[in-house]
Structure 1
Amino acid sequence: MKKHSIVIAGGGSTFTPGIVLMLLENLDRLPIRQIKFYDNDKERQDIVADACEIIMKEKAPEIQFLKTTDPKEAFTDVDFVMAHIRVGKYKMREMDEKIPLKYDVVGQETCGPGGISYGMRSIGGVIELVDYMEKYSPDAWMLNYSNPAAIVAEATRKLRPQAKILNICDMPIAIENLMVKILGLKSRKDLTVRYYGLNHFGWWTSIMDKEGHDLMPKLKAHVKDNGYAVDFDESGQHVDESWKHTFEKVKDVYALDPDTLPNTYLKYYMYPQDEVAKANPEYTRANEVMDGREKHVFGECKKITANQSTEGSTLEIDEHASYIVDLARAIAYNTGERMLLIVENKGAIANFDDTAMVEIPCIVGANGPEPITQGEIPRFQKGLMEQQVAVEKLVVEAWEERSRQKLWQALTLSRTVPNGRVAKELMEELIEANNMFWPELN
């Protein structure tokens, strides 16, 4: 089996150590000859990279390791670019969440005005990575899980239509892991799912086991009363109080369409006032992350570097990120893995915009994804998705055309924003907050 060369773009991310541990755990499935870290923030990357270098020396000393802030060095001789960048870091995420809340509007990193703000920062960053990859390793594939995935996917479709980039999201995987617990099964690999929507905006329409038994009735019975809430173990990414509330709130979203099972993020669009009412405008999810995961991961990394050993380290394998290995394997070995990806619709949802970037099951092989046809979708979902896809397209047009008008339209069209006046006031404040990161709008 060929050994692969991987660059992790966003080397200073709090998720990077968990992904490295996951890659090392799966070397039998995806052999690796070198891992490179690339980030434009040297100081932050050094903290993570120095610890990861020690982890690799202990677990897989044969893998070459390099950390760099030089694009040529990072992107030359790579098979896969694994990208999870956060332009503006958590400080700007905090602004994305807190500014909307001043206007009694949902403050969330990928939904509503916060997602639009983050999207306007992310587009340029992801396009830059695509261009580096195409320049230095034109045969490589980018596996992009940078948020907000819906806006980023639309931007790459429109601005870099030939790019070998696959946009993926881990939220359906996290939810399927909860479904597996509800059902008492061992692994989400035991499920065959049908699902359609946009990123963070979708519905499961069928869930079967490998023998073809319908698992939806049992799941629906649980979700009707409990949402996706189960008895949580205290480790892992999605267990803060805010997540527990999110999993419980699903029962209210489910009630709107009991024929399907919803993505958790739909609560922000269906019940925005409820989300604002329970939010603390002084202490949002960004603060939870900075005080929780960020402190923990950076603290552990510094400890490993100081001790020159991982002994006693509490850094954890990012288990649910193993889908990244599934995706890389599917491309490298033409496995025909069935996966949820964000792809151009092109008729997969028959009664929906062909150019929309939809999240649906695909069969993935050496040539990339082949979407599985979903047929026609009901009016309720279609209407919601048309409104949301228009928001995402307007954001990308606003970025490309440097258009303040289109950004105002995008914000006004979002289900989370009550009217055009609030949209305009919000926009002006977001423009000011993002003056280092957004293009100048006319």
Structure 2
Amino acid sequence: MMKGLKIVTIGGGSSYTPELIEGFINRYDKLPVSELWLVDIEAGREKLEITADLARRMIKRAGVPITLHTTLDRREALSGADFVTTQMRIGQLEARIKDERIPISHGLLGQETNGAGGLFKGLRTIPVILDICKDIRELCPDAWLINFTNPVGMVTEAVYRYGVHDKVIGLCNVPIGMEKSIAEILQKDQKEIFVTFAGLNHMVYANHVYENGVDVIQKVMDNWGEQSVQNIQALEWDSHFVKALGAIPCPYHRYFYMSKETLEEEKEKYAQHGTRAEQVQKIEEELFALYKNPDLDIKPKQLEQRGGAYYSDAACNLICSIYNDTRDIQVVNTYNHGAIDFIGYNEAVEISCIITKNGPIPIAAGDLPKSVHGLVSQIKSFEVAGAEAAVTGDYDKTLMALMINPLVASQTEARIVLDELLEAHKEFLPQFFRNKKLR
């Protein structure tokens, strides 16, 4: 008889949690979860209870023996855990609104994981994740931490550089969506193709597409048009550019390869409808109204509108593969360990990996096309600088991190946006204000 697993989800009141519950239920025969703890903070108590009630109804409907607990004390939950997942938003959606509104008001792209907004989400998140790692080392040192809190790349980089627990894997749903799109282009079932990915989080490229053992990436490049995700405008890719690039870009590459067009669209949307975060707020209100329905005992279809569909299912799949030592291939954020030639050996990359009970083993991508080296290296530098800024609370290092990002590119605007965002998020950035002047 298999030993029951204890899994802890920090940020359990997230609207994504029903997908996580569905994933554990669907895999119960291979992943015997006996205890599931949903952890949140006082500000998230109401959502935590609503989500937990729905989760219990889902578990009851499925008839699986999973005991669900809720707590506001993560240390209580972590003791003896086998796996920990993190899906947090420090400052909640109000913080994301500021991350998007303040940069765009100064003519800079405001986005959750890129540019100034992405940096500040990292500054708020990294110290909390590092504290969680300390608790894990003390209370459940053998546990794997599966993080899908954005910005995943910067957070993973920070844990590898400054953390005390190295059994940490970052996860993103973008490669899953890209693979679905590639299968549609080829008019194949996903199981009939094999796609390899390499790069960084939200800066990942598909570098091979195999069909019956033949690399058909050129065919995909010819047809890589309006591929997008929920929270990114579907500006069409120029097939000539994609072929010249030599790899298939992800939806987030629009921020870098179509910066001018994307900025103009963001300004227009900002003027007409507000930020993406404000749209997400409305979607979340609708979702939690659904979750309250005592007759609802399945994951509602509307959750896919949220923009992060498949994150939680990917986490369940990853946990299942580690537990069962399946040695299948998944795309995760992990140590590079020589897989990408021009990235540091112990730096975080997003790459196709063989998943084992000992963690991910990256599949060597070798030398990605020269055309992408500059941009990938620049964003890697941004992640490294952002991680250092988050840990030190140093104003000058934060300004440098901001300036490294190609979506900023203005020293004057960078200082203005930096000062406004620091003041706006003061409550969640104590490392910048503790017993010292900022500058």
Does the alignment pair 1:281 with 2:274? no
RMSD after superposition: 2.2
Alpha-carbon separation, structure 2, partners of 1:253 and 1:440: 47
2:322–2:356 Cα contact (<8 Å) kept: yes
Amino acid at match of 1:249: E
- Match among 408, 411, 416 for residue 420 of structure 1: 411
Identify the residue that residue 220 of structure 1 maps to in structure 2. 221
Identity of aligned residues (%): 27
Q: Deviations over 1:57-81 (max 9, x none)?
A: 2223521110111123211232111
Q: Could you tell me how far apart the structure 2 residues matched to 1:440 and 1:75 are?
A: 25
> For residue 33 of structure 2, what is the aligned residue in structure 1?
32
Q: Report Cα offsets for 1:260-292 as digits up to 9, x if no partner.
A: 100111111222221121112251111111112
Matches within 5 A, 1:401-440: 401-440=392-431
Does the aligned pair in 2 maintain the 1:21–1:316 contact within 8 Å?
no
Alignment match, 1:6: 7
Q: Which amino acid aligns with 2:286?
A: H
Distance in 2 between the 1:134 and 1:213 partners?
Answer: 45
Question: How many Å apart are 1:314 and its aligned residue?
Answer: 5.3
Structure 1 residues 385 and 161: alpha-carbon distance in aligned structure 2, compared to 1, 3 A threshold: farther
- The CA deviation at 1:312 is 11
Match for residue 270 of structure 1?
257
Superposed, 1:14-53 pairs within 5 Å as: 14-40=15-41, 41-53=44-56
- Paired with 1:311 and 1:110, the residues of 2 have a C-alpha distance of 30
Aligned to 1:340: 331
How many residues were matched structurally? 422
Query: Unaligned stretches of 5+ in structure 1?
Result: 230-237
**Take 2:165 and 2:298, find their aligned partners in 1: how far apart are those partners?**
46
- For 1:92, give the aligned amino acid: A
- Structure 2 equivalent of residue 235 of structure 1: none
Name the counterpart of 1:384.
375
Letter in 1 for 2:116: P
2:182 is matched with which residue: 179, 189, 193? 179
The answer on whether the counterparts of 1:178 and 1:228 sit within 8 Å (CA) in structure 2 is yes
CA contact (8 A) 2:136 2:165 kept: no
**In 1, are the aligned partners of 2:75 and 2:135 still within 8 Å (CA)?**
yes
Letter in 2 for 1:78: A
TM-score, with structure 1 as normaliser: 0.89
In 2, Cα distance between equivalents of 1:394 and 1:27: 41
Match of 1:261 in 2: 248
Q: Displacement of 1:426 after TM fit? A: 0.7
Q: Aligned match of 1:156 in 159, 180, 187?
A: 159
Amino acid at match of 1:263: C
Matches within 5 A, 1:31-430: 31-40=32-41, 41-160=44-163, 162-187=165-190, 189-209=191-211, 211-223=212-224, 226-228=225-227, 238-239=229-230, 243=232, 245-246=233-234, 248-251=235-238, 254-255=241-242, 257-279=244-266, 280-282=269-271, 283-292=274-283, 294-304=284-294, 307=295, 310=297, 321-430=312-421
SS in 1 for 2:297: coil
TM-score (norm 2): 0.90
Q: Kindly provide the CA deviation profile for residues 377-409 of structure 1, in whole angstroms up to 9, marking residues without a partner as x.
A: 333311111211111111111122221001101
Asked if 1 retains the 8 angstrom alpha-carbon contact of 2:17 and 2:312, the reply is no
Question: Could you say which residue in structure 1 is the equivalent of 2:435?
Answer: none
Partner-residue secondary structure (3-state), 1:126? helix
* CA distance in 2: counterparts of 1:355 and 1:369, whole angstroms: 14
Distance 1:310 1:168, change over 3 A: closer
CA contact 1:179–1:228 (8 Å) conserved in 2 = no
**Contact between 1:399 and 1:439, CA under 8 Å: does it hold in 2?**
no
Structure 2: runs of 5 or more not aligned: 433-437
- More deviation, 50-59/318-327: 318-327
